[in-house]
Amino acid sequence: MSTRPYDVIVFGATGFTGKLAAEYLHAAVSEAKRDGDYPRLSPRGRERHHAVAYRAGALKDLRWAVAGRDRAKLEAIQRALSGPAMPSVVIATSSDQASVDAMVKSTRVIVSFAGPFAQYGTPVVDACVRFGTDYADSTGETPWVADMIAKYHAKAEASKALIVPMCGFDSVPFDLGVFYACAKLRERGSTNIVRATSLCTMVGGFSGGSLASGLAMDHDARAAQQKNNPFALGGGPKSDAHLKASAARTKVEYLDEFKAWTAPFMMADLNTRVVRKSADVLAYRTDGDGFVYTELAMAPSEAVAKKLLKAAQPSPPEVRQSLIASGALPKPGEGPAPAAREKFYFQTVVKAVDDKGRSAMVSITGGDAGYEDTAMMVVEAGLCMALDRDGLPRAGGVLTPAAALGSGLVERLDRAGIRFKAVGDLRMRSAL
């Protein structure tokens, strides 16, 4: 038993997604305390096994807290999450390093939703590295993640702190989807996996916090530079041909391999960087050449693909800022109502191919990618570190979800409602 008071702290719990994370963790612990009663909570009929069955005994004893800077808001969350699984309250703010240090020293794992992370995240990561505390977050800010790798990876290895950014929809379904497809190929004897392609379809929206992070990146000169660098987090390029094959897709294409129309995917600039880093760390390709990863949006027709192409091009920052100010887009802390979120879903299909032409295709499906499922993914990453630490492949470092958590997180997410399934062909739910 750890001498620290808490196993998991949800930092940024008063934000929109952070509050959903607190509600999810409360439900998970509550269900574990009821000896493994896993009800169907979704009107869509998805089984939400909030507690992983085989770890229910450990989960029911989880000690946890919600944290942030506003005591009144945190105590309101605490009152709403009453009962035997009620969280404690911890006060910490990124502008006060002493308060962050006290929070980090009090727990084994921090799951953070306090963004923009370039503005608020570094003091938390710094403290986690110094005190050997594990960490997961919901960021999609690749320039900041690149900074964390450069500054803290070696130190985190030394302190045995697992620092795992980008554990939400950016970029778990894609990073773990490629990991899972490659694992299926390796089960069949493949040792040299040369490429993977992901096609995604989804219906959903963005929280005010995500929009704020996007605006922050728009004003970060490094973000523009890294947008043109397919290997901003590492993993290449191994050659000019590898660099060319990894360039962003910018047009509508029909892929004979999938018999599907495709368009650029709005999240590809983030997810591809994470997957390529994982491919390097996990050595998907072993012949010295570069692993090629492509990520696209799937469309049922050329006309729809052209609409997706247009939608993938973001409006200028000043336009988005004006829409936020007018209320047309959500402000930080805001997001859609539960009734709207119930209609959201995503599906990603990943195909991996080895040097002999053998392939494996997997499907990853979920619900509300931007809010509920992001909250759940980050919390389950935290629980993976809190409850399954001895079985994880690496002791410390600033790592991708696949490299740090691998099959342990795949299993947790599959039990929690994000389904990972090997499939024989491309059968995707059309979002349009």
Q: Residue 222: what pLDDT?
A: 67
pTM over 0.85: yes
Specify if 430 maps to a domain: no
Domain match, 247 and 101 both: no
Total Cβ atoms within 10 A of residue 206: 18
Specify if 285 maps to a domain: yes
Q: 50 is in which domain, residue-wise?
A: 6-168+372-414
Q: What is the DSSP letter of 335?
A: -
- List CB contacts of 97: < 8 A, sequence separation 6 or more: 123, 126, 127
Domain match, 203 and 162 both: no
Using alpha carbons, select from 320, 112, 330, 334 the residue that is nearest to residue 216. Answer: 320
Q: Residue 242: what pLDDT?
A: 97
Q: Residue 66: what pLDDT?
A: 98
Q: Mean pLDDT for each consecutive 10-residue tract of the chain (432 residues)?
A: 90 95 95 62 39 59 97 98 96 98 98 95 98 97 96 98 97 97 96 97 70 62 73 95 95 94 94 98 96 96 93 69 67 74 90 96 93 95 96 96 97 93 72 40
- List CB contacts of 416: < 8 A, sequence separation 6 or more: 48, 49, 50, 52, 376, 380
- Measured distance CA(385)–CA(47) in Å, rounded: 23
Domain match, 220 and 360 both: yes
- Measured distance CA(114)–CA(17) in Å, rounded: 9
Total Cβ atoms within 10 A of residue 248: 14
Domain match, 260 and 181 both: yes
Domain match, 307 and 388 both: no
Domain match, 161 and 176 both: no
Domain match, 88 and 213 both: no
Domain match, 380 and 333 both: no
CB 278 within 8 A of CB 402: yes
Specify if 428 maps to a domain: no
- Residue 217's region, left for phi above 0, alpha for psi from -120 to 50, else beta, is alpha
- Measured distance CA(41)–CA(47) in Å, rounded: 7
Phi, psi (degrees; rounded to nearest 5) at 12: 85, 35
Q: Structurally, how many domains does the chain consist of?
A: 2
Domain match, 27 and 145 both: yes
Specify if 432 maps to a domain: no
Q: Residue 57: what pLDDT?
A: 60
Specify if 429 maps to a domain: no
Q: Residue 38: what pLDDT?
A: 41
The CATH number that applies at residue 94 is 3.40.50.720
Helix axes 16-33, 208-218, angle to 10 degrees: 130
Lateral strand order in the sheet of 193-203: 253-255, 260-264, 292-299, 193-203, 345-354, 359-366, 419-423
Specify if 351 maps to a domain: yes
Give one DSSP letter per residue of 312-325, joined into a string: TSPPPHHHHHHHHH
CB 92 within 8 A of CB 121: no
Specify if 244 maps to a domain: yes
Compute the Cα dihedral for 64, 122, 223, 153 and give only its sign: negative
Domain match, 16 and 144 both: yes
Domain match, 251 and 387 both: no
Q: Which residues pair with 296 in a beta bridge?
A: 199, 264
Domain match, 104 and 220 both: no
Question: Torsion angle, CA of 126/131/134/137, rounded to 10 degrees?
Answer: -30
